[in-house]
Amino acid sequence: MRMQPESASRAITDYFNSPTWNAPQETDVLATVMSELMREGQPVSSKELLIRLINKLEQEGDQQQLENYRRLLTQLMENSLL
């Protein structure tokens, strides 16, 4: 059964507006790293973000957090988000 475009659009909107939807972890990681750099007076540049994320990868022991760092690094390098 095909959904009507309006009902599909409404379903998508409801999903993202629901209290159970959470922003991707990568967004939180990026915000945290940028905040750390700004607090330390470092420039928030592509180079600094990549260096900081690689350093975090090398020191992290939590598998979920490692995966978050990997996904963010992949996104930054593939999509040129910076």
- What's the Cα-to-Cα distance from 10 to each of 13, 20, 52, rounded to whole Å? 5, 17, 40
Indicate if the alpha-carbon torsion angle 20, 21, 26, 32 is positive or negative: negative
Q: Is residue 16 part of a domain?
A: no
Identify the band that residue 41 occupies on the pLDDT scale cut at 50, 70 and 90.
very high
Alpha-carbon span 67 to 71, nearest angstrom: 6
Tell me how many degrees the CA angle 74-80-82 measures, rounded to the nearest 5. Answer: 105
Is 41 a domain residue?
yes
Q: Is residue 26 part of a domain?
A: yes
46 domain residue, yes or no: yes
What is the domain count for the chain? 1
User: Domain range holding 51?
Assistant: 21-79
Residue 17, pLDDT > 50, answer yes
Identify the band that residue 72 occupies on the pLDDT scale cut at 50, 70 and 90. confident
Asked if pLDDT for residue 5 goes beyond 60, the answer is no
Is residue 70's pLDDT more than 60? yes
The answer to pTM > 0.85 is no
Question: What's 60's domain CATH number?
Answer: 1.20.5.5260
Q: Read off the pLDDT of residues 53-62 as tens digits, 9 standing for 90 and up.
A: 899 889 988 8
Q: Within a domain: residue 4?
A: no
